């Protein structure tokens, strides 16, 4: 039982730090650069993301193992997963509009963009590819969400200060953000080899 | 929309390559621009895959634009896109298995490209077949161009080599630098640095061009 827990813990650490989605797998970059300008939006976005990611990992796992594998139509995984995610995003959109209108107003367009976000789609695809069990899929979704939240918060806190810095004109805005991300990614390479799964 | 002249089609084509270059200008669909570009060959094949999907999606949506109900248009667009992506994925797995082994996940994730959905929504669903295809070709070529430039730069600086595909399964590796190359450029972190620097270069060229020809607007 203990080794089971250790494995889950390792999976979470690996997904959030070592194979961080933003810094080593380069996914979710559009959202990453889009919402990392202010700390408040970054935090709201990370929570939404982690929630959607875990739920979609769970639902996709059930559909994949119970429907796609028995029927031998696993090549339809992209279409099915994107459908599941679009549905979930629509649902969380409605729930957020009713329960947290302030946050909904701020995150605006990005919430809709979640459905066309690679990170969220990548989680079920990786889960299916690695043949994770149900609990492992959940852990992977949670770890990935945590890693994304970490990346967003680091980036947002740097960019808030960058507003005051003097940046050469061609580098203003996105190019500078890219260079900074490169430097953070360099720091994250230090985590590689921490755990070997 | 009146019948488009050759001139406006040319503008439309160039628009996707220069003025609205997906990666350097709009900063959309960035994930593969870093993930697959540590090798020129992978970069080129990824670009070709996107070019194919973008053109075919635009063509399909444009053909269907009169029968799609506006209320359910987004799910239909997603369905069309994921259909074409699945086709591309299977074709690449069959014809270029070595490339597919490296970029497979990112091919599947073309589904989630904001730029493809955006062109389907903003252009193909409102225009006839020929302009839609030209628009898709232009956007795709712009993407291919960006990926080629980034991977050219990264492989040359990071490894000192260039892997040029000479056919579906064949390639030729040119070696330019025999001393120790700048290894960081082929590492994940180098991807961000390379795109940042190239984006800045793109901006710089753009601002120079605007300064020298202010009367063109």
Reported as a single tens digit per residue, the pLDDT across B161-205 is 777 777 666 676 777 766 777 777 777 778 888 888 888 888 888
**A181 → closest Cβ in B112, B192, B203:** B192
Measured distance between the N- and C-terminal CA atoms of chain A, rounded to whole angstroms: 18
Answer whether B197 sits within 8 Å of A126, measured CB to CB.
no
Q: What are the residue ranges spanned by the domains of chain B? A: 7-211
* CA neighbor of B57 nearest in space, from B158, B152, B129: B129
In angstroms, the CA B110 to CA B93 distance is: 15
Answer whether A79 sits within 8 Å of B31, measured CB to CB.
no
Tokens of A17: 């730090």
- CA angle, A85 then A90 then A95, to 5°: 125
Q: What's the pLDDT at B40?
A: 83
Task: Give residue for tokens 């107003």.
Answer: A105
* Alpha-carbon dihedral sign for residues B142, B148, B151, B154: negative
**A170 → closest Cβ in B75, B187, B200:** B200
Which residues of chain A make contact with B101, given a CB cutoff of 8 A? Answer: none
Answer whether B196 sits within 8 Å of A175, measured CB to CB.
yes
How many CB atoms within 10 Å of residue B203? Answer: 19
Tokens of B208: 């120079």
* Alpha-carbon dihedral sign for residues A144, A150, A153, A155: negative
Answer whether A116 sits within 8 Å of B196, measured CB to CB.
no
Minimum Cα–Cα distance from B113: chain A residue: A116
Q: What's the pLDDT at B1?
A: 43
**pTM of the predicted structure, to 2 decimals:** 0.78
Which of B23, B77, B157, B192 is best to mutate for the A interface (most A CBs within 10 A)? B192
| Contact in structure between B21 and B148 (CB atoms under 8 Å) | no
Q: What is the DSSP letter of A170?
A: G
B90 touches chain A (CB under 8 A): yes
Query: What is the nearest CA distance from B176 to chain A, expressed in angstroms?
Result: 25
Q: What is the DSSP string of B123-189?
A: IITTS-HHHHHHHHHHHHHHHHHHHHHHHHHHHHHHHSEEEEE-SSS-EEEEE---S---GGGGSHH
Q: Enumerate residue ranges in chain A where pLDDT < 70.
A: 1-2, 106-116, 193-197
Task: Give residue for tokens 């003025």.
Answer: B19
Residue A156, exposed/middle/buried by CB under 10 A (0-12, 13-18, 19+)? Answer: buried
In angstroms, the CA B82 to CA B88 distance is: 10
B82 touches chain A (CB under 8 A): yes
Range with lowest mean pLDDT among A110-119, B83-92, B115-124: A110-119
The continuous run of DSSP H or E covering B215 comes out as: none
Minimum Cα–Cα distance from B188: chain A residue: A24
Answer whether B75 sits within 8 Å of A189, measured CB to CB.
no
**Percentage of residues in chain B having pLDDT higher than 90:** 0
Q: What's the pLDDT at B215?
A: 46
Answer whether A176 sits within 8 Å of B109, measured CB to CB.
no
**B204 → closest Cβ in A126, A170, A179:** A170
Choose between B138 and B35: higher pLDDT.
B138
Which residues of chain A make contact with B29, given a CB cutoff of 8 A? Answer: 30
Minimum Cα–Cα distance from B193: chain A residue: A179
Which of A175, A180, A192 is best to mutate for the B interface (most B CBs within 10 A)? A175
Q: What's the pLDDT at B212?
A: 66
In angstroms, the CA A176 to CA A188 distance is: 18
């Amino acid at each position: 039982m203990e080794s089971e827990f250790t494995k889950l813990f390792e999976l979470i650490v690996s997904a959030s730090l070592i194979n961080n989605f933003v810094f080593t797998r380069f996914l979710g970059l559009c959202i990453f650069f889009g919402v990392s300008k202010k700390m408040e939006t970054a935090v709201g976005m990370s929570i939404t993301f982690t929630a959607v990611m875990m739920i979609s990992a769970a639902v996709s796992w059930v559909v994949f193992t119970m429907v796609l594998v028995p029927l031998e139509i696993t090549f339809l995984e992209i279409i099915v997963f994107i459908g599941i995610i679009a549905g979930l995003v629509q649902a969380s959109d409605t729930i957020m509009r009713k329960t947290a209108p302030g946050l909904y107003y701020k995150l605006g367009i990005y919430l809709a963009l979640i459905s066309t976000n690679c990170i969220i789609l990548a989680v079920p695809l990786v889960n299916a590819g690695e043949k994770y069990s149900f609990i492992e899929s959940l852990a992977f979704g949670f770890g990935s969400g945590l890693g994304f939240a970490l990346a967003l918060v680091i980036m947002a806190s740097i960019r808030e200060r960058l507003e005051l810095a003097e940046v050469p004109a061609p580098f203003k805005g996105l190019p500078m953000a890219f260079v900074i991300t490169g430097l953070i990614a360099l720091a994250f390479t230090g985590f590689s080899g921490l755990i070997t799964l | 929309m009146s019948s488009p002249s050759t001139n406006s089609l040319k503008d439309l084509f160039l628009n996707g390559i220069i003025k609205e270059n997906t990666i350097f200008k709009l900063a959309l669909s960035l994930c593969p621009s870093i993930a697959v570009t540590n090798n020129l060959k992978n970069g080129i094949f990824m670009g070709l895959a996107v070019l194919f999907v973008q053109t075919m999606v635009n063509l399909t949506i444009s053909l269907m634009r009169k029968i799609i109900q506006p209320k359910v248009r987004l799910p239909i667009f997603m369905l069309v896109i994921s259909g074409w992506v699945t086709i591309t994925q299977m074709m690449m797995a069959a014809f270029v298995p070595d490339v597919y082994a490296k970029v497979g996940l990112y091919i599947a994730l073309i589904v989630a490209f904001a730029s493809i959905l955006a062109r389907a929504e903003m252009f193909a669903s409102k225009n006839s077949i020929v302009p839609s295809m030209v628009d898709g070709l232009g956007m795709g070529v712009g993407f291919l161009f960006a990926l080629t430039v980034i991977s050219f730069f990264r492989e040359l600086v990071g490894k000192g080599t260039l892997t040029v595909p000479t056919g579906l399964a064949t390639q030729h590796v040119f070696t330019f630098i025999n001393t120790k190359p700048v290894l960081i450029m082929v590492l994940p972190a180098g991807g961000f640095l390379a795109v940042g620097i190239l984006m800045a270069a793109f901006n710089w060229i753009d601002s120079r061009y605007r300064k020298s020809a202010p009367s063109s607007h």
